Amino acid sequence: MADASTLAKELRPAIKTSESRRDSILAMTSNFMCDASLLGDYLEVWPPAFRSLNILSANFLNFPGSLLGLGVSKESLQAAITSSSCMHYLRDEAVVSAGGDAVEAFSRSLAQDEVLSDEALKQAQAVFSEGDLEWLALGVSLRGFFDKFSSSLQLRLDETQTDRSKLFKKAYHLASSQQLERHYSNGVSNNMGATFAELESVSGYSWPYLSSLTNKRAFKALAVALCENLHVSRSQIGIETKLLTGIIYAKVTSNEKLMSDSLQLIAHLAPDLPEKTIRCAVEFVSIDNGALPVSFTNEQSAAVLLARSIAATPCKINEITISMVCAELTSKQIIEIITWVSLQEMLGRLYKFYS
């Protein structure tokens, strides 16, 4: 009996080996997040996706040494960040401590709950400084990107292949990759004000929910990633259709802040997108029979179908969806959509933390 079709299998012919991937930050972090290098194969199909996750990885995983104090072991910290399910961080490790418990509860709530649990937050605040807690939130948020991207492709990841004793060392020394980091953020100012101005220039949007992010390196990395994804000239699917997939994700997850982001971006970047089209995309999420909007083009229909299928957790993608998506969309377009939805997952976690 033939193996079931997956997006990963269908996209495999589009993968090409390149020097940029071998020299990337993602390749350096493959011992930290076992799926990082594997995801790089698919991310590079649409280069802005590859550049985005490289700069995010370099800056969101650069944990300070102070996170290792107060009873928090290296193993419990890395397990909280790298666990793809965010449920079994410490089950096979004899490292449970007061700090480890705080890591587990905080990470699980940030990943799974609609709002960050007050109890989990208070438990973490009793152990971590404000700055260290932000670092932990950044790591868990980035993990959301990894999880959403890999589950959308239906990649089978074997965490047991990773040497857990080396994980934290790899992440902690990520800062040594300054040359690579500069490559992926070339032309972006180190000044937070200038970086924000560039993001606002590209997107036409003020991003009010990001104003609470105090970590300068993380803010710069996120600004670069958003700029990479919102440059109209770099889009393969078209900015209008892309922003519709953000509407789909926000509706599926009932995230009002992400919905506000998407509507504002549409107003600035796709002002000619009819209100009826936006309304049809919102209504499509709630349609039980799965009927696609009749006014949509085949490309738009495939895009919103893909977005709705992967927005849920766990993803609800099936062979019928895969067949339609692959018939109507190119490999680059598929990766672009999955990347944008994965960024929404990451932003959703960040917004929970800063609320």
Q: Please report the pLDDT score of residue 195 as a whole number.
A: 82
**Would you kindly state where each structural domain of the chain is located, as residue ranges?**
7-182, 233-354
Do 7-182 and 233-354 share a fold?
yes
Q: Which residues contact 173 (CB under 8 A, 6 or more apart)?
A: none
Q: Please report the pLDDT score of residue 127 as a whole number.
A: 81
Residue found by looking up tokens 């009873």 in the block? 71
Fold that domain 233-354 belongs to in CATH? AhpD-like (1.20.1290)
Classify domain 7-182 by CATH number. Answer: 1.20.1290
CA distance 314 to 151: 8
CA distance 241 to 195: 26
The parts of the chain modelled with pLDDT lower than 70 are: 1-3, 17-37, 62-100, 156-190, 289-290
Q: Please report the pLDDT score of residue 188 as a whole number.
A: 54
Q: Which residues contact 88 (CB under 8 A, 6 or more apart)?
A: none
Measure the CA angle with vertex 178, ends 217 and 149; round to 5°.
65
Convert the pLDDT of each residue in 173-193 to its tens digit: 443 344 445 555 555 556 778
pTM, rounded to two decimals: 0.84
Q: Please report the pLDDT score of residue 289 as a whole number.
A: 66
Q: 231, 181, 225: which is closest to 43 by C-alpha? A: 225
